[in-house]
Amino acid sequence: DGGITQSPKYLFRKEGQNVTLSCEQNLNHDAMYWYRQDPGQGLRLIYYSQIVNDFQKGDIAEGYSVSREKKESFPLTVTSAQKNPTAFYLCASSVPGTATNYGYTFGSGTRLTVV
């Protein structure tokens, strides 16, 4: 079955450490997205990519970085510059230009905790 796989499901980060969250999809979608979810705040867009080798900052990109070397993969790195990284991170994909009227397909998320 087609879908989006996020790994790991749980991740612990020490202060000052960079960590990378994986997102892989086999839906043949060109567009991929990273959202951060905090209790009571809904989803906030971190980065998105409409095509391979291109990506754009979302509303809360500071302290995060991404790459898009392959259509299937859109990893997110949470850097030490992100002062409050503890959150639930969701990866999503869509056919470009259709997220507006067809919605997103989401992965099952990665819960990141700073220890």
Q: Which residues bind other proteins (CB under 8 A)?
A: 4, 6, 9, 40-43, 45, 90, 92, 97, 99-109, 111
Sequence-separated (6 or more) residues with CB below 8 Å from residue 44? 35, 36, 37, 38, 58, 59, 60
Residue 106 beta carbon to other proteins: minimum distance, rounded to whole angstroms: 3
Q: How far is the CB of 26 from other proteins (least distance, A)?
A: 15
Q: Least Å distance between CB 101 and other proteins? A: 5
Q: Which is nearer to other proteins, 1 or 15 (CB)?
A: 1
Rounded CA separation 78/94 (Å): 23
